[in-house]
Structure 1
């Protein structure tokens, strides 16, 4: 999670820093310095399910079936619980106790859960966890019990994908989601520590610092998955040196990405290093700047250069850390330290929030919203809650989630599931 701060050979890097600067500097100032907008609703949070409590909840997900259940992942207990989507429920049942041992550093554990799009037919779901001895990330498939929709079959595990060995316990990414194309997307951070010590951010030949995309329904080449035909390495010779699984690069540590259920757009929160947190919209073969940029700002280490095949794309918005000098923040006080990516709201409970991408910060408890036009230029952006209000709970925001109806939830390290409600 975004609480802190084996590669293949690196190939040619040709685009220079000057080209990257030109691309970023061309971004309109309104996107570089977003301001509060009164078109966004004023909200606060309240506990949504008062009779439920969890330990380090990091995922809320639901399958596309008729049981109307929600599922929560407990990070270090390595357990998944189910409960009815009823605000007054106290019916919390253990769905899966992960049978494998896991690493439990602050950003490790059971980190991801995704239900197969045809779960109602095949009962398949996928998890992402931090394995140990050696430290590495694993995506596995399990099946629900044939006799009970509230129980998984712990003996059904099939390992689908395993990362290279990871020398550090942070920057594990850990988010998995099925896209509207039916493929499984996997976020994997830059390998850990600080300053991208493995030089993975601009290296598309390895998996680190990337968003991956695989086809779990059509395995090939002796692996448990196939490669979609329009992944960069398959679709264009200029990306032939990219690892086949890599979908996008230049990522430091995406802690949560989601798809807009209406447009299919892929939104993500990419955790910064010392100064800037950012929201990005990810596209096929996109390059989001790390380790040459942190947000909109140059990040200079070890003569780093931009990957030659994919010029840098700027973020949608950023926000500063508290210790960024005031002159660089240009008057902005909406600071944070660790972004938690959210969702584009498509529910009905808060009509004024419709179409707004909602995201937050783990360390400073803030929640923002942003909307963009068809060219991804910012239309409105600002804080949605008043963290200084005595009625507003201080929530370490570990994750956002949504239910089948598109209603939005917030998982806090207070163990509660919260939701947003209008200020009255």
Structure 2
């Protein structure tokens, strides 16, 4: 019996190993226009809703009834790109309870503010707000909004070019404006902020002190690679190219090219600096097409441990096409290979995030669902000879159950295997809602063989947290 199963698995796995891309599993729902996902170096996920609310999502998929922060009354979210847009926890959050938000206020301007958590670690003190920076916004779109701490301890802030179309006032190339920039500030002091002395225009009249890099149109999500500290930026294009930028933060003063260039394509080079001074994207894709692609959602380089096959891949999405994209390091070591994979449902992916273990999540703006990112290439496709069963919860902790059984297709036996096809355990199923224990398993991915009363066989995968 075991020899036959091992042979079947051996035949299935090589086919699946050839699959490309990553997929998403629904993890939690019930959110309203989620636009950011962050953690505070513990098991909680903090889900930022565009209207001005931050909620806590627990590792079991439940959401706290009381929001972590509610500043809805201070936030203008009437424009499609306005609202509470970004969250960053201080590197010393466990000591100082400080975190930072980026939102559009009731005057339509960008606000960078600091808050502290109350005595209850699940509720912030909404009266503790200290406004650090206010940036005038001439239009309602292209606000950027993402914030993150680099491994240098400084706070990086992504600001769009001010909006409209084509950057009509050339803000992104104007070093006397904070629009179209990545800002870098030092927030380690008791109040306010200071300027890192390594910022490129410190002590010079050439540009504003807060500017770290410039030439961005609408940087919709940036992140730091937790392995090497490099910055990744997804910059939304005009009507031609969507671009991905990747730079080390040991340097500063990068000019990413907008509006001189849209991706690698010329947009308007009148009055622009020499092409040799432009930091062009590491990858790009075309606007439009079928499926229709319209706006990149920047992501993260995967550095988790559950899916070793995708280690080092940059994972992102397109908001309109409902595709998850990957940049995979070329086997020749001289670039990246892009793949786009439709996720199979309409979500309008607005953001990615990591948990404390560096496993990745994504959020659907239109469906309010938080998804887990997973690698399907080392798993058995969830299909059956007779019916589609589902394992839940998945990922699992101490047990899983089997959904979609009925009298005709009641499961009678469950067999668990490692990814190399080694047999681990078998369980005889006596009741429809019986729990299959997994607390004896190490973290990782496993394969399950289900055998029904009429001897139909199906294969499934689950992840053990």
* Equivalent in the alignment of 2:413: none
* Alignment partners' CA distance in 2, 1:334 and 1:382: 14
Structure 2: runs of 5+ lacking an equivalent: 1-16, 382-465
* Alignment partners' CA distance in 2, 1:115 and 1:420: 22
* Equivalent in the alignment of 2:43: 68
State how 1:255-334 maps to structure 2 within 5 Å: 255-282=220-247, 283=249, 284-300=252-268, 304-307=270-273, 311-322=277-288
* Equivalent in the alignment of 1:103: 76
Match of 2:112 among 139, 154, 173: 139
Q: 2:330 touches 2:337 (CA, 8 Å); kept in 1?
A: no
Decide whether aligned partners of structure 1 residues 112 and 136 sit closer, same or farther in structure 2, where only a CA change above 3 A counts. same
* Equivalent in the alignment of 2:33: 56
Q: 2:55 touches 2:64 (CA, 8 Å); kept in 1?
A: no
* Equivalent in the alignment of 1:415: 368
| TM-score, with structure 1 as normaliser | 0.79
After TM superposition, give the deviation of residue 44 of structure 1 in Å.
2.4
Match of 1:84 among 37, 40, 58: 58
SS of equivalent to 1:48: strand
Decide whether aligned partners of structure 1 residues 382 and 110 sit closer, same or farther in structure 2, where only a CA change above 3 A counts. same
Decide whether aligned partners of structure 1 residues 288 and 335 sit closer, same or farther in structure 2, where only a CA change above 3 A counts. farther
After TM superposition, give the deviation of residue 308 of structure 1 in Å.
7.0
Q: 2:53 touches 2:72 (CA, 8 Å); kept in 1?
A: no
Match of 1:207 among 159, 178, 184: 178
Structure 1: runs of 5+ lacking an equivalent: 1-37, 324-332
After TM superposition, give the deviation of residue 377 of structure 1 in Å.
4.0
Q: 2:244 touches 2:284 (CA, 8 Å); kept in 1?
A: yes
* Alignment partners' CA distance in 1, 2:53 and 2:163: 25
* Alignment partners' CA distance in 2, 1:343 and 1:177: 12
* Equivalent in the alignment of 2:3: none
Q: 1:40 touches 1:381 (CA, 8 Å); kept in 2?
A: no
* Alignment partners' CA distance in 1, 2:331 and 2:213: 21
* Alignment partners' CA distance in 1, 2:153 and 2:73: 27
Q: 1:114 touches 1:177 (CA, 8 Å); kept in 2?
A: yes
Decide whether aligned partners of structure 1 residues 382 and 373 sit closer, same or farther in structure 2, where only a CA change above 3 A counts. closer
SS of equivalent to 1:93: coil
* Equivalent in the alignment of 1:343: 300
Larger Rg: 2
* Alignment partners' CA distance in 1, 2:257 and 2:224: 21
* Alignment partners' CA distance in 1, 2:105 and 2:332: 41
Q: 2:21 touches 2:326 (CA, 8 Å); kept in 1?
A: no
**2:178 counterpart of 1:226:** no
SS of equivalent to 2:356: coil
After TM superposition, give the deviation of residue 315 of structure 1 in Å.
0.3
Q: 2:137 touches 2:162 (CA, 8 Å); kept in 1?
A: yes
* Alignment partners' CA distance in 2, 1:308 and 1:244: 23
* Equivalent in the alignment of 2:410: none
Query: Pairwise CA RMSD of aligned residues?
Result: 2.4
Match of 1:192 among 139, 163, 170: 163
After TM superposition, give the deviation of residue 241 of structure 1 in Å.
0.7
* Alignment partners' CA distance in 1, 2:89 and 2:256: 28
Residues 109-155 of structure 1: per-residue CA shift (max 9 Å, x gap): 0001111000000000111110123x210011111002x10111111
After TM superposition, give the deviation of residue 311 of structure 1 in Å.
1.2
Structure having the higher strand fraction is: 2
| TM-score, with structure 2 as normaliser | 0.72
* Alignment partners' CA distance in 2, 1:257 and 1:155: 29
